[in-house]
């Protein structure tokens, strides 16, 4: 058979081309964030709590920022926040420093083989720390594995946090879960699954239950930019749009899903926040490295949900400075110095600079605080390690495998436990 040769004009018409989004820079190239537009601080107003999606476009494609280049809090969102005491801001700074110290110590512990796995949140500290301090007791976060900040700012005991990482007898989860998959109901922290996206629609369900019971509590869903591609992101937004429960849907856009550039999850979408508008859910994009912007927008969104104005989505714009996890090497897929080039800076440095400009902090006090916090974290770490690590294990009873599969141990599990010899 003769091959069919199409005429040239016809070939052009049928030449559909696929798009394969690529990051602006790979390891052998200089970092390039020229595609990211950083609007000036204070540019966006504070919308009314009952804003509708169709009026929220400027918030969804813009970026709420409070701290300007001179480290001053400016604009309507700074005014909305009102007179924030130095004490409150120093608490926020201490939360973030504590988070950084814990991340540093636990990464180190993993490298020493004391735990099998760890995952840092470097660069994203302002988001969870700032958000958590705006919640009330009884509100529930449905976090991903990179929201340990929520635990830190909820003053979750480090003994429990580290015990979970070491799977020793201080582990509230009895060694059943991979390190970092915490669960802390009393601290408003839902059990982390590890299956991406599933928690997002569960947050909506929790919020619906709260509204049905009239208990005045809200839920906060958390998801990364990569997992917005999961079907439960859609399930959550649709359900929230249909039933209008008191839920704040957070998207932490840290630019990377392990090695996959955020563009692969975003496609032709303008921003992740803008996606919510199609569901009729108002949304804002926020400078996630600006602690004051985080605090202000969190307070607004939580207030909106609690007062019954329905769901809202917040895209926290940030950058994942560290590797995805201890099983990842980001130098294989992105420029080594990309974090330094990140246009929104470092959240700790920015809040520190603001406090100094206000006259409420100094370089000396900062150095001293860092040292104190590191000492405190290290001391707790030592105490927790005395209960056992992977290097020096004090195993939890294997019978724990069978406990809690069901409320009551069924016969077949009783037989299996017997077979195991416990």
Q: Smallest distance from the beta carbon of 290 to another protein, in angstroms? A: 30
**Between 57 and 234, CB nearer to another protein:** 234
Residues 399-418 within binding reach of another protein (CB under 8 A): 403-407, 410-412
Give yes or no for residue 144 binding another protein (CB under 8 A).
no
Give yes or no for residue 302 binding another protein (CB under 8 A).
no
**Between 39 and 205, CB nearer to another protein:** 205
Kindly write out the interface string for residues 207-236 of this chain, putting x where it contacts another protein by CB under 8 A and - elsewhere: xxxx-xx-----x-----------xx-xxx
Measured in degrees and rounded to the nearest 5, phi and psi for residue 252 equal: -95, 105
Kindly write out the interface string for residues 162-201 of this chain, putting x where it contacts another protein by CB under 8 A and - elsewhere: ----------xxx-xx---x-xxx----xx-x-x--x--x
Give yes or no for residue 71 binding another protein (CB under 8 A).
no
* 193 burial type by CB count under 10 A (0-12 exposed, 13-18 middle, 19+ buried): middle
Residues 6+ apart with CB under 8 A from 182: 148, 151, 161, 164, 173, 189, 191, 192
Residues 6+ apart with CB under 8 A from 393: 168
The helix/strand/coil state of 316 is strand
Q: Are the CB atoms for 171 and 163 separated by under 8 Å? A: yes
Q: Which of 56, 64, 204, 348 binds another protein (CB under 8 A)?
A: 204
User: What are the b/e assignments for 276-296, b being 16+ CB within 10 Å?
Assistant: bbebbbbbbbbbbbbbbbbbb
**Between 70 and 397, CB nearer to another protein:** 397
Q: Are the CB atoms for 162 and 155 separated by under 8 Å? A: no
Q: Smallest distance from the beta carbon of 413 to another protein, in angstroms? A: 8
Give how far Cα 22 sits from Cα of 19, 29, 31, 266, 273, Å: 9, 13, 13, 12, 21
Give yes or no for residue 107 binding another protein (CB under 8 A).
no
**Between 190 and 256, CB nearer to another protein:** 190
The binding site for another protein (CB under 8 A) comprises 140, 142, 172-174, 176-177, 181, 183-185, 190-191, 193, 195, 198, 201-210, 212-213, 219, 231-232, 234-236, 238-239, 242, 403-407, 410-412
């Amino acid at each position: 058979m003769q091959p069919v040769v199409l005429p040239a004009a016809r070939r052009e018409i049928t030449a559909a081309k696929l798009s394969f989004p690529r990051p602006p820079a790979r390891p052998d190239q200089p970092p390039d964030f020229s595609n990211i537009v950083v609007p000036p601080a204070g540019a966006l107003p504070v919308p009314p709590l009952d804003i509708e999606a169709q009026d929220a476009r400027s918030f969804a494609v813009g970026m709420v920022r409070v701290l300007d280049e001179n480290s001053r809090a400016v604009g309507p969102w700074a005014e909305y926040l009102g007179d924030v005491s130095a004490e409150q801001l120093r608490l926020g700074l201490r939360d973030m420093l504590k988070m950084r110290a814990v991340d540093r110590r636990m990464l180190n512990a993993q490298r020493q083989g004391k735990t099998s796995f760890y995952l840092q949140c470097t660069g994203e500290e302002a988001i969870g720390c700032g958000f958590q301090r705006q919640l009330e007791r009884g509100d529930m976060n449905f976090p991903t594995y990179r929201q340990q900040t929520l635990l830190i700012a909820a003053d979750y005991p480090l003994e429990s946090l580290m015990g979970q990482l070491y799977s020793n007898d201080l582990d509230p989860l009895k060694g059943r879960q991979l390190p970092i998959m915490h669960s802390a109901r009393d601290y408003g922290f839902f059990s982390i699954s590890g299956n991406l996206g599933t928690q997002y629609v569960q947050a909506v369900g929790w919020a619906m239950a709260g509204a049905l019971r009239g208990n005045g509590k809200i839920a906060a869903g958390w998801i990364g930019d990569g997992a917005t591609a999961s079907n439960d992101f859609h399930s959550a937004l649709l359900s929230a749009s249909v039933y209008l429960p008191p839920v704040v849907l957070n998207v932490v856009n840290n630019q990377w899903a392990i090695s996959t550039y955020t563009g692969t999850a975003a496609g032709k979408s303008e921003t992740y926040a803008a996606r919510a508008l199609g569901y009729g859910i108002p949304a804002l994009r926020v400078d996630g490295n600006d602690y004051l912007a985080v605090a202000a927008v969190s307070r607004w969104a939580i207030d909106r949900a609690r007062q019954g104005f329905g769901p809202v989505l917040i895209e926290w714009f940030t950058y994942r400075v560290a590797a995805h996890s201890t099983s990842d090497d980001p130098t294989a897929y992105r420029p080594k110095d990309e974090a330094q080039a990140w246009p929104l800076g470092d959240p700790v440095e920015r809040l520190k600079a603001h406090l100094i400009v206000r006259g409420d902090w100094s370089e000396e006090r900062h150095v001293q605080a860092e040292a104190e916090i590191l000492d405190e974290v290290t001391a707790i770490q030592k105490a927790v390690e005395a209960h056992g690590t992977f290097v020096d294990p004090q195993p939890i009873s294997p019978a724990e495998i069978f406990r809690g599969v069901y409320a009551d141990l069924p016969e077949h599990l009783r037989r299996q436990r017997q077979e195991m010899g416990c």
